[in-house]
Structure 1
Amino acid sequence: MPPLLQLNVVSSELDALIRLLDDSDPHVTTSVQRRLIEYRWRAVPHLQAVLAASPPDSPRAVNAQACLRAIRTNALATLLDRILDACAEGSDIPLEESLTLLSIFGCPDGDPGAIGHHLDTLWLDVERALQAAPTRSEVQKLLALNTVVFDRAQFRGAGNDYHTPHRIYLAPVLQHRQGIPITLSCIYMLIAARAGIELWGIGMPLHFVVYSPALEVYIDPFNAGTFISREECCQFIEQAGFRFSESMLMRRSNVEILQRVIRNAIYAHTKSQQQWEAETLQETLETIERLTKQP
């Protein structure tokens, strides 16, 4: 079936399912909800349209909300499964997949495959920039990465709307190119990994940067990829009111990075008065902490 025709068929079925959301037969509505949930992100715009057009306490809106929340929590359930598998294998979780699943919860209306495609596109731009470089040294790789991410794509730190959900989740940060330090650092590391650049996530108090073990330099993606020294990191920590300890500049595992992103998301949803989202993420965070707790 041609892609355009397939899209039309999907859209037609979704429209038909939406019309049955408030059917008087509970068996019908249960089947409809199950089918809508199976459509995942494709069903989300249709469900959101129902919520925007219907009274909040109407059966139509209640059923649409239940579907939407199920789609979102299913992504978190898959995330917990991945963490459980990693714990059983004694390995770390894949950062990109984990952040993508978290992004589905936060921003369920987009194709999750677009995240990987967007990162691939940026990586190919880095490769093209490297073709013009005199060498493929580690310095040249990082300079090419900075040129693409900050000069051409113009990723930058969030401003006045720093503590809002769309500055935290991967999908909207890739789309709008503004984010908080940890999300920008994750994007930077994911592109770097595609280019064969080893970088570590460093979770300082009140800030997040990355570290190049090859060059022994810290990089601040929130501030346009500025190279910073260990001494400057220590100075930042002390000026922020913390007593420096070596643990503040330790490499963070992917699961630790994920936990920190979730904490930021909880704060953002709470600040935005989105209590269901904040409470659901808090429960997820507590489950992750139990799963990854060292015996």
Structure 2
Amino acid sequence: MPGELAALVSLLDDDSPTVLAAVTQRLRELADEAAPALRDLAEQGSPKVRGRAREVLANLERREGFSRLARLAETPGPDLEEGAMLLASIHDPAVDPFALRLKLDRLAEGAARTIGDAPQGRPRIERFLKSLHQQEGFQGDEEAFYAFQNNFLDSVLERRRGIPITLILVYMLVGRRIGV
């Protein structure tokens, strides 16, 4: 570990708000270089240092997520699913995009079974909506409409509750998988 990084890491234990703010800022600037040392500290340091290292790492991960989201938004025809996954992972770095895609795939399999051989148009759409609303239980969150969790794909898939825009997102992502 280079000298500056070693010194910065050792100062994560400092109780001075001024020192801690300066150290945190510099570690953010050294993002890629600092991340391995911060990961080690997040697992092996004193409780105070572990917490501070995790805080800096979480901030770095959010910044990287926002950068990826900005790059995605600049592409022609950005991938809606990828954007929703990025937003969820910015909110919760533990979000597993593979697991979310698997949930969407399983919902699509169930919807395809419900749709069966329904003709195109209204009958097909009605069966699709029945699958997600009645059989899978997706609906508006009437108890906590303004809850933060209603904004993120992972939470809506888990709870089967959301606000109209995230419910539409789920319906679109599932529908695309089966041509609805």
Q: Which of 54, 61, 64 does residue 64 from structure 1 map onto?
A: 54
Deviations 1:19-56 (A, max 9, x none): xxxxx94477779951388x9xxx9xxx6x99xx94xx
Q: What is the alpha-carbon distance in structure 2 between the residues aligned to residue 151 and residue 143 of structure 1?
A: 11
Report the equivalent of 1:173.
Answer: 156
Deviation at 1:99, TM superposition (A): 1.1
Q: Deviations over 1:250-288 (max 9, x none)?
A: xxxxxxxxxxxxxxxxxxxxxxxxxxxxxxxxxxxxxxx
Larger proportion of helix: 2
Runs of 4+ off more than 3 Å: 24-33
Of all paired residues, the percent bearing the same amino acid is 22
**Separation of aligned partners in 2, 1:59 and 1:148:** 49
Within 5 Å, give how 1:25-44 maps onto structure 2: 25-26=6-7, 34-35=35-36
Distance change (3 Å), C-alpha of 1:78 and 1:159: same
Q: CA RMSD in A?
A: 3.0
Q: 1:112 to 1:35 in 2, by over 3 A?
A: farther
Q: Helix, strand or coil: the match of 1:161?
A: coil
Query: What secondary structure sits across from 1:159 in the alignment?
Result: coil
Check whether the contact 1:168–1:183 (CA below 8 A) recurs between aligned residues: yes
Partner of 1:103 in structure 2?
Answer: 88
Secondary structure of residue in 1 paired with 2:77: coil
Cα pair 2:88 2:95 within 8 Å, conserved: no
Cα distance in 2 for partners of 1:73, 1:32 equals: 15
TM-score by length of 2: 0.73
Structure 2: runs of 5 or more not aligned: 11-26
AA in 2 matched with 1:95: L
Superposed displacement of residue 166, structure 1: 0.9
Question: How far apart are the structure 2 equivalents of 1:75 and 1:148?
Answer: 33
Does the 8 Å contact 1:119/1:191 carry over to 2?
A: yes
Q: What is the aligned residue count? A: 154
